[in-house]
Amino acid sequence: MQNTAERNKWKVNRAGLFNYWYYEDQAFDFAGGKLLLRGNNGAGKSVTMQSFLPVLLDGSTRPERLDPFNSKARRMEDYLLGEKEVSGHDERTGYLYMEFKREQTEQYMTIGIGLQAKRGSQLKFWGFILTDNRRIGHDFPLYKMENHDGEQVKIPLSRIQLRNQVANGGYVVDKRKDYASLVNEYIFGYETIEQYEDLIKLLIQLRSPKLSKDYKPSAIYEILEEALPPLSDEDLRHLSDTIEQMDQTKQQLDQLEREYTAITDLNKVYTAYNEKILYDQTMGYLEAEKRKQDTEQRYQTAVDKAKHHEDSLACLAQTINLQHIDLETARKTRHRLEHHEVWNLEEERQDNEKRLEEEENIKEQTEQKVDKVRKKIHTEQSGLDDMELKINQRQERIEDLLEELEADALEASFIEADRMHQEDFQENKQNPFSFSAWNRQARNQLKHLEEIKESLRKLEMLQKQYQEKDQELGQYKQWMN
């Protein structure tokens, strides 16, 4: 069943001429896409219809297109200007148009051409199409009214004026090819302009007069046959080349299939190689991660020792301060005794001096201990700095191994490695981490690689047998030849 768009086709609804030949402003109404013109011989029926068809379909105004006998005697300029003695025109602008209507809807579209003729000059052409449902003679005039000697006169629109009036409701073009493309696109809908030109050629053949003859099927067949486009040598050459290349294409397809099989086998071996590299990288990464954890543990132990020494240093510093206070007290006591009114307290002075000497010895020993502690802290701090440097270096190495591991896993499509890295290690890398699952996956992968290695060995043996058979086949073909 045809859809609505196919049933609702365009049909010719009206055709008109403005300021053309003997017509000032004339429109012809069609009934169901048909028009009947009656009149005596020479009344202008043929000229009128030949001015519409096929001129309005492709914009061609060549003389042979205006005469069904293909004569070049009639020119479009003659229809516009006429004989100077009769018409008095030296320059004239006219319009031809044809209005189409959808069969089932009130939708209109108008095509037309504008012509400007001037004696002694080339005919000027422009084509237009109205796509916004405006209709000539209703809401779209082809002229403007001017007052000449007190009388209103219709002055045809120039090309610029027509373009301004059409605006966004259609198109105005200056080339006949562009006009024919627009008519095909909006009215007929052929896929290529060449197919549309074939339609025009067919219409020209069908309008050829057959005076005193009936339209027999054989005559119509000849007309249609003449309207068909001839096959050029170039078309036949392409067909011949296509047939000739069919065998070559078949051979190329066979070769491509063989190459595809070889590439598939190579890809399997390359994948196995990538998986082996991935396994090695994984094992290296596991070892580096273990060394990192050991280093971090030693680093934490060193940090704890340093903190303990710092606490000890703080206690010793506090002890030194207390001893300084005691020393200062002893010195004041000594001073007081030396200046005491009672000079017979020599024994007390000697005791104080002895106690002062002891305090100074204790102070010296304490300072020595402090120096030892400081040296030890300095030594441990140096070791701690070296350990931090090693941790950073190993951390960078681990990051490099992670990048290599991710690249190799992506290339070898080893999805399990990426999951272990993202879900297991990244989420627990700050805590003590067990690599038992990683080791198990690595062992499984190693087992899989061993199987691939065995398959490769078998493949190499088969390839060697294939080469031997191929050499035997070549020798046999050479012997047969």
Determine the pLDDT at residue 134: 96
pLDDT over 70, % of the chain:
83
Q: Is 413 helix (H, G, I), strand (E, B) or coil?
A: coil
HSE-CB for 472 with a 13 A CA cutoff: 6
Q: How far is CA 342 from CA 329, 333, 349, 350, 356, in A?
A: 20, 14, 11, 14, 21
256: number of Cβ within 10 Å: 11
Q: Per-residue pLDDT tens for 288-344?
A: 888 888 888 888 888 888 888 888 888 888 888 888 888 888 888 777 766 655 555
Amino acid type, 399: E
Tell me how far apart the alpha carbons of residues 208 and 65 are, in angstroms, rounded to a whole number: 11
pLDDT category at 211 given cuts 50, 70, 90 is very low
How far apart (Å, rounded) are the C-alpha atoms in residues 119 and 77? 8
Which residues, 6+ apart, have CB-to-CB distance to 146 below 8 Å? 152, 153, 155
3-state secondary structure of 18: strand
* Residue whose tokens read 């005076």: 211
**Apex 256 CA angle, 251 and 258, nearest 5:** 100
Provide the pLDDT for residue 455: 82
Percentage of the chain beyond pLDDT 90 is 24
How many Å from the N-terminal Cα to the C-terminal Cα in the chain?
A: 65
Percent helix, strand, coil in the chain, to 5, is: 65, 15, 20
pLDDT at 286 over 70: yes
Q: Are 140 and 194 in contact (CB under 8 A)?
A: no
Q: Residue 1: is its pLDDT beyond 50?
A: no
Least confident of 124-133, 239-248, 295-304, 458-467: 239-248
Residue-averaged pLDDT of the chain: 82
217: pLDDT strictly greater than 70: no
pLDDT at position 95 is: 96
pLDDT value of residue 382: 82
| Angle 448-450-454 from CA coordinates, rounded to 5° | 115
Burial 92-114 (b: 16+ CB within 10 A, else e): bbbbbbbbbbbeeeeebbbbbbb
Backbone angles phi, psi at 95, to 5 degrees: -135, 145
pTM over 0.85: no
Structural tokens at position 205: 């053949």
Over residues 105-130, mean pLDDT: 94
Task: Report CA Rg, the chain.
Answer: 54
Q: Which residues of 449-461 are buried (b: 16+ CB within 10 A; e: fewer)?
A: beebeeeeeeeee
Q: Where is pLDDT greater, at 39 or 30?
A: 30
- What does the pLDDT look like over 161-189, one tens digit per residue? 999 999 999 999 999 999 999 999 999 99
Residue 381's alpha-carbon distances to 4, 384, 453, 462, in angstroms, are 91, 5, 51, 65
Q: Where residue 212 falls among pLDDT bands split at 50, 70, 90?
A: very low
Question: In a 3-state reduction of DSSP, which class is residue 150?
Answer: coil
Question: In the chain, how many H helices and how many E strands?
Answer: 14, 8
- Cβ partners under 8 Å of residue 377, min gap 6: 306, 309, 310, 313
State the pLDDT at residue 358. Answer: 85
Give the model confidence (pLDDT) of 464-475 as tens digits: 888 888 888 888
Digit-coded pLDDT (tens) for 381-426: 888 888 888 878 877 777 777 777 777 766 655 666 666 665 566 6
Contact 330, 287 (CB under 8 A): no
Within 89-190, where are the H helices?
159-166, 176-183
Q: What is the pLDDT of residues 7-33, one digit of tens each?
A: 789 999 999 999 998 889 999 999 988
- Split at pLDDT 50, 70, 90, the class of 138 is very high
